[in-house]
Amino acid sequence: MTRPPRASIPVRALWRDHCAARGVARRGQQRRSPVRFVTIAGHPTGRVRAALAVSLLIVSTLVAGILPRFADHARWLPGPVALAQDLTPVTVALDWYPNANHAGLYLAQERGYFAEAGLAVEL
């Protein structure tokens, strides 16, 4: 079967085929790409946002289910008593006068946090 000569095809049909071949939208229609994960502004589309929410829910559920199984293994780790036997001496040089930004260091020394970590800190 031969193709009809171009002159016998209406101009409107030629233009429609021309636009469809190049992805140009018809009047009143928006051109949509087949796969579009990100909008022009760089934000994820609704489909991607929903997929991310579902995957986050699945991962958080798995983590919440797995973590209690490892809670028993914490008793085998060396505790503060085992670490407190050998305190490592550490000297921290501060400003000439005690300032408010040193409060965390003084509080940790007063409450014994450094000793729990195995450090003998001198301020």
pLDDT tens digits, residue range 13-50? Answer: 555 555 555 555 555 555 555 555 566 666 667 777 88
**Are 13 and 19 spatial neighbours (Cβ–Cβ below 8 Å)?**
no
pLDDT tens digits, residue range 77-93? Answer: 555 554 446 788 888 88
Beta carbons within 10 angstroms of residue 123's beta carbon:
14
CA 80 to CA 94: how far, in whole Å? 27
CA 29 to CA 24: how far, in whole Å? 10
Assess whether pLDDT exceeds 80 at residue 70. Answer: no
- pLDDT attached to residue 90: 86
Which regions of 1-123 does DSSP assign to beta strands (E)? 88-91, 119-122
Half-sphere exposure of 29 (CA within 13 A, CB side): 9
